Chains A and B, each alone.
Chain A
């Protein structure tokens, strides 16, 4: 029989205000097996932990139950305390009487009754607990960064500077990401390329960084410290080792009508191209859909002109396998499609553009060489109207419910830059609220409104329509309480941003959780903001939530710190709660191996005695405890119940259910 100690935490008033903690501790004393029961204001504090340690020693406790917050919060704390007092750390169970009880109830009697049941349930489980031992697994001292935007670049540079190998896998032909497309950056208005491209060059020149551009992650196996990743190196039809980036192929290519993605489709590019002048790697890529040689077999002009023989039309996708200890996801964002927002006339009017398109139009390396002109007729627009929150903070279902966070600032930036460069231009901004928290941010916005004479109109736009080439922007002015129509030459939509759609596939591969808006979920919103709940996976940039460049860079560096902290370790303690099969019951059907996300399950042929001197060779399951993460998918899949999970055995769970039903 276990000698169980129960420790009920007040969590200040978090629990004690709704749950009568003294009554819970008192009631639970009567439970069979419980030899000690106590309550304390902050069980996680040093004094609280000491109380637990002392009780374990004084009362010879063999197992303890802590009634406190979620095990996600302090299970590790209490396990460590128990271990310090000589108890196996897995003889600790947490009854979550905060998130599961006090926080969701108002009535003290009800909450107290429920807390008692939750503690009883944990007692029922801990009675069946057995001491468990963790194993060890080695750490591969190499990191993978998925996405080569500013987030990925910063994370890679920081990790590499600490002396670890880093691979950047970037799906596009160059690293640089969205930031490479921007013109100026708020709040200091320095040129985006001027601050980004040196970092890109640093990456390329860093001896510890390997840039795998035009590549995608295909498969991820393994676990923290030991990820096995299959990477698809897409055929670029140009030998990366030979191409010098001389661009003669781009000049000579006769198929020049491809939409230039880098310029948001505002101009065209040849079928063989380098996305932009400072691309890293500075290597051409062929668009096979557009290339005449690849479509018809005739042409081959680029091959003829290429001085180094880099063109190879027969190149195929290649796959490489690499091992990593940690993975940083930095897949970034894209502006949402505006299909649901016909009222702004984006599809019908060339002069209704998104903010990212405006960035390209204002960029010196953009389609108009930095001269702001209307896409329709190339003329200088005299009246420009910005519309904020296009698809952001939208609860109608057409757009996104969240605030895209960057739009207020970049719209102020656009407005300011236009007023500065073209003072004869009239600039209006329709807004719901202007949100500019952050260092020097509100000052920046006020400068736009007060010093640069940008006309901020509080109100939403109902419709944009075209009358004889003029864009009529009809909206409300809530301050003056009137409907207004602004005759504009150019309309700029501050389009909501969303995570790059490919992040869904990556989340699936990494078994990283994702929210309803496709943002990757962090482990703890406040205390573990760059860790994914999947161990060894870290999140940087907009893939985790909308954020601007300064925040993205901070987060990327934070990720790097976490990765470095992991990679300096030689060995990791493995999870002790692993799947454990009963070979005698195993049918060898492979269903558990099918559902195992970590590749921890294999099958072996084993000889079994049948009695009477006979033996039989059977195919039975084998679990690699160093790889198993204890998710339990196999245990519920096995039809014969041959698979069980240490620390969460079917018997333990059933006894918990019974304890709850007994109430």
Chain B
């Protein structure tokens, strides 16, 4: 991964130096090895803090909404999954494709520090990835772990290793094809009885502290003003009777991003309460696939989504109500 990072820094420096782009969106060093953060680099000098390692799971595409409004072109490093969100933003006119230079970077699946900690390793100082193993160095020594045990949830159900948008790429190693199993989790929920499912979501959504992290990180949640922040919408900032009332927020949000959610998994990644929020969206995606034929939001930057177009062969409402799909 070091060689990839090196190449990325070189390209970023070259692009900034020759003036092709005014800024580069990437990740920069955090306080610790395991907490790199999204960052905008405007000079070659700033690139000394640039990192690309196993903890760069964050999807950078949403930052483009803001930074691409500035003068000049913006270069951005994108993992395959980020490119779907990017396309969706271009499709919704939130980002001007002409002003963006996309550098596709390889991704071997990103790591979850919480899972590493859960394996008893703390004070992590470095991680080396070797195939399906990771060697974690910490202040207390070295530990070898199975990579599958410490990957981000969203990477365990990766939807593909192909970049859906790119102007150039930095792919130095082969990226193994993912397992294509992302709907298994949904199928489990579907297999529950109604009561069990309600109990499941009640338990999960009760944990919500309404920090809005899921909404703020979500590339599909790109409204200038969210209905939940708009007093005249009638749904904003209502005092809850009980904690479960936060379900309203999550269910409405799931509806708002339905047909547009690319399943990037950021909502669940950033949730401090570990609520599997992506399952709400993934259920919608599975249903849309079933009702209207397979559709992956963000696969292209053009065209209408199944929910905002009408085709003659579309299912009748009564068929959808039966819940079976095609």
Any A CB within 8 A of the CB of B131: no
With A and B bound together, what is the CA distance between A603 and B305 in angstroms? 19
Any A CB within 8 A of the CB of B140: no
Q: Verify B233–A641 contact, CB threshold 8 A.
A: yes
Q: Verify A641–B230 contact, CB threshold 8 A.
A: yes
Instruction: With CB as the reference atom, state the residue of chain A lying closest to B310.
Output: A508
Q: Verify B308–A587 contact, CB threshold 8 A.
A: no
In the assembled complex, how far is the CB of residue B231 from the closest CB belonging to chain A, in whole angstroms? Answer: 12
> Could you mark each residue 625-652 of chain A with 1 if its beta carbon is under 8 Å from any beta carbon of chain B, else 0?
0000000000001011100000000110
Known: A585-B230, A597-B310, A603-B93. 14 other contacts (CB 8 A): A508-B311, A584-B225, A586-B224, A587-B92, A587-B94, A587-B223, A588-B93, A589-B92, A639-B223, A639-B257, A641-B227, A641-B233, A650-B233, A654-B234
Instruction: With CB as the reference atom, state the residue of chain A lying closest to B224.
Output: A587
Q: Verify A585–B312 contact, CB threshold 8 A.
A: no
Q: Verify B225–A594 contact, CB threshold 8 A.
A: no
With A and B bound together, what is the CA distance between A508 and B94 in angstroms? 31
In the assembled complex, how far is the CB of residue B213 from the closest CB belonging to chain A, in whole angstroms? Answer: 19
Q: Verify A590–B305 contact, CB threshold 8 A.
A: no
Any B CB within 8 A of the CB of A29: no
In the assembled complex, how far is the CB of residue A614 from the closest CB belonging to chain B, in whole angstroms? Answer: 11
Residue in A505, A597, A619 whose beta carbon sits within 8 Å of that of B93 in the complex = A619
Asked if A650 meets B234 with Cβ closer than 8 Å, knowing A589-B93, A589-B94, A640-B226, the reply is: yes
Q: Verify B305–A594 contact, CB threshold 8 A.
A: yes
Q: Verify B312–A639 contact, CB threshold 8 A.
A: no
With A and B bound together, what is the CA distance between A322 and B234 in angstroms? 45
Chain A contacts for B257, CB-based, 8 A: 639
Q: Verify B93–A590 contact, CB threshold 8 A.
A: yes
Any B CB within 8 A of the CB of A45: no
Can you list 22 A-B pairs with a CB-CB distance of less than 8 A?
A504-B312, A584-B224, A585-B225, A585-B230, A587-B92, A587-B94, A588-B92, A589-B222, A590-B91, A590-B92, A591-B92, A591-B308, A594-B304, A595-B308, A603-B93, A616-B69, A639-B256, A640-B225, A640-B226, A641-B227, A650-B233, A654-B234
Tally of chain A residues near chain B (CB < 8 A): 24
Any A CB within 8 A of the CB of B18: no
In the assembled complex, how far is the CB of residue B226 from the closest CB belonging to chain A, in whole angstroms? Answer: 7
Q: Verify A588–B94 contact, CB threshold 8 A.
A: yes
Chain B contacts for A597, CB-based, 8 A: 310
In the assembled complex, how far is the CB of residue A514 from the closest CB belonging to chain B, in whole angstroms? Answer: 10
Any A CB within 8 A of the CB of B240: no
Q: Which A residues are closer than 8 A to B by beta carbons? A: 504-505, 508, 584-591, 594-595, 597, 603, 616, 619, 637, 639-641, 650-651, 654
Chain A contacts for B312, CB-based, 8 A: 504-505, 508
Chain A contacts for B224, CB-based, 8 A: 584-587, 640
Chain A contacts for B225, CB-based, 8 A: 584-585, 640
With A and B bound together, what is the CA distance between A591 and B93 in angstroms? 10
Asked if A651 meets B93 with Cβ closer than 8 Å, knowing A508-B312, A594-B308, the reply is: no
Please list the 9 inter-chain residue pairs (A to B) with the smallest Cβ-Cβ separation, ordered nearest first: A640-B223, A589-B92, A594-B308, A639-B256, A594-B304, A588-B93, A508-B312, A595-B308, A641-B227
Q: Verify B304–A639 contact, CB threshold 8 A.
A: no
Any A CB within 8 A of the CB of B309: yes
In the assembled complex, how far is the CB of residue A238 from the closest CB belonging to chain B, in whole angstroms? Answer: 30
With A and B bound together, what is the CA distance between A590 and B312 in angstroms? 22
With A and B bound together, what is the CA distance between A595 and B304 in angstroms? 9
With A and B bound together, what is the CA distance between A508 and B312 in angstroms? 6
Asked if A640 meets B227 with Cβ closer than 8 Å, knowing A594-B309, A650-B234, the reply is: yes
Interface residues of B in 215-232 (CB under 8 A from A): 222-227, 230, 232
In the assembled complex, how far is the CB of residue A588 from the closest CB belonging to chain B, in whole angstroms? Answer: 5
With A and B bound together, what is the CA distance between A586 and B94 in angstroms? 11
Chain B contacts for A591, CB-based, 8 A: 92, 305, 308
Chain B contacts for A603, CB-based, 8 A: 93
With A and B bound together, what is the CA distance between A586 and B225 in angstroms? 9
In the assembled complex, how far is the CB of residue A307 from the closest CB belonging to chain B, in whole angstroms? Answer: 43
Instruction: With CB as the reference atom, state the residue of chain B lying closest to A585.
Output: B225
With A and B bound together, what is the CA distance between A611 and B234 in angstroms? 27
With A and B bound together, what is the CA distance between A472 and B225 in angstroms? 76
With A and B bound together, what is the CA distance between A595 and B232 in angstroms? 24
With A and B bound together, what is the CA distance between A496 and B222 in angstroms? 54
With A and B bound together, what is the CA distance between A274 and B62 in angstroms? 61
Chain A contacts for B91, CB-based, 8 A: 590
In the assembled complex, how far is the CB of residue B256 from the closest CB belonging to chain A, in whole angstroms? Answer: 4
> Could you mark each residue 122-148 of chain B with 1 if its beta carbon is under 8 Å from any beta carbon of chain A, else 0?
000000000000000000000000000
Interface residues of B in 307-321 (CB under 8 A from A): 308-312
In the assembled complex, how far is the CB of residue B35 from the closest CB belonging to chain A, in whole angstroms? Answer: 31
Chain B contacts for A586, CB-based, 8 A: 224
Q: Verify A587–B230 contact, CB threshold 8 A.
A: no
Interface centre among B94, B223, B233, B305 (most CB of A within 10 A): B223
Instruction: With CB as the reference atom, state the residue of chain B lying closest to A616.
Output: B69
> Could you mark each residue 100-114 of chain B with 1 if its beta carbon is under 8 Å from any beta carbon of chain A, else 0?
000000000000000
Chain B contacts for A588, CB-based, 8 A: 92-94
Interface centre among B224, B226, B304, B309 (most CB of A within 10 A): B224
In the assembled complex, how far is the CB of residue B182 from the closest CB belonging to chain A, in whole angstroms? Answer: 24
In the assembled complex, how far is the CB of residue A159 from the closest CB belonging to chain B, in whole angstroms? Answer: 28
Instruction: With CB as the reference atom, state the residue of chain A lying closest to B305.
Output: A594
In the assembled complex, how far is the CB of residue A511 from the closest CB belonging to chain B, in whole angstroms? Answer: 9
Interface centre among A504, A585, A590, A603 (most CB of B within 10 A): A585
Interface centre among B91, B311, B312 (most CB of A within 10 A): B312
Interface residues of B in 191-225 (CB under 8 A from A): 222-225
Chain A contacts for B305, CB-based, 8 A: 591, 594
Chain A contacts for B234, CB-based, 8 A: 650-651, 654
Interface centre among A589, A595, A616 (most CB of B within 10 A): A589
Instruction: With CB as the reference atom, state the residue of chain B lying closest to A597.
Output: B310
With A and B bound together, what is the CA distance between A496 and B320 in angstroms? 29
